[in-house]
Amino acid sequence: MNPVIRIVAVGVVLAVLLSVLREREKALSIELGLAFVALVLLYLMEPLRQILGLFADLAGRAGVSPSYLGIVLKALGVAYLTAFGAQLSRDAGEGAIASAIELAGKVVILVLAAPIVVAILDTVLELFP
């Protein structure tokens, strides 16, 4: 069976179980949800390592500075982490905290992207005498 189908199937079954369990044991349901996410992330570590290697290889071939690739990958990581944290907060009924997490992620991504924006603007300014 395809690994994605397995993950989705277990996730759906766990979601149904957690929806019932959440009414009786809220703390346990949150812990089980976090455990599932942790297991999925551990399962995905090798494919993620392979993808990062591929991106590094492609950036090298294209002549892209490794620092720019690092910035893009960091921004991607921040986006995933903030989305995950915000969703967990929403699931716990904390919408305001979720919004604060999302805002923090957007600001961090903006700060990370600043050197790339500056480099693009410098390149554009060099094109016009």
* In the chain, where the domains are located: 1-45, 65-129
Sign, Cα dihedral of 125, 67, 100, 44: positive
CA separation, residue 9 to residues 31, 39, 68, 89 (Å): 19, 14, 37, 23
pLDDT at 1: 63
Would you say the pTM of this structure is higher than 0.85?
A: no
64 sits in the region (left: phi over 0; alpha: psi -120 to 50; else beta) called: beta
pLDDT at 118: 92
Q: Which ranges of 1-129 would DSSP assign to H, the alpha helix? A: 3-24, 26-62, 66-91, 95-127
If you count them, how many residues does the chain have?
A: 129
Tokens of 82: 């903030």
Residue-level pLDDT, tens digit, the chain, 129 residues: 688 898 899 999 988 888 888 888 878 888 888 899 889 989 989 998 999 899 889 888 988 888 888 898 899 999 999 998 999 889 888 999 999 999 999 999 999 999 999 988 998 998 887
pLDDT at 27: 82
pLDDT at 32: 87
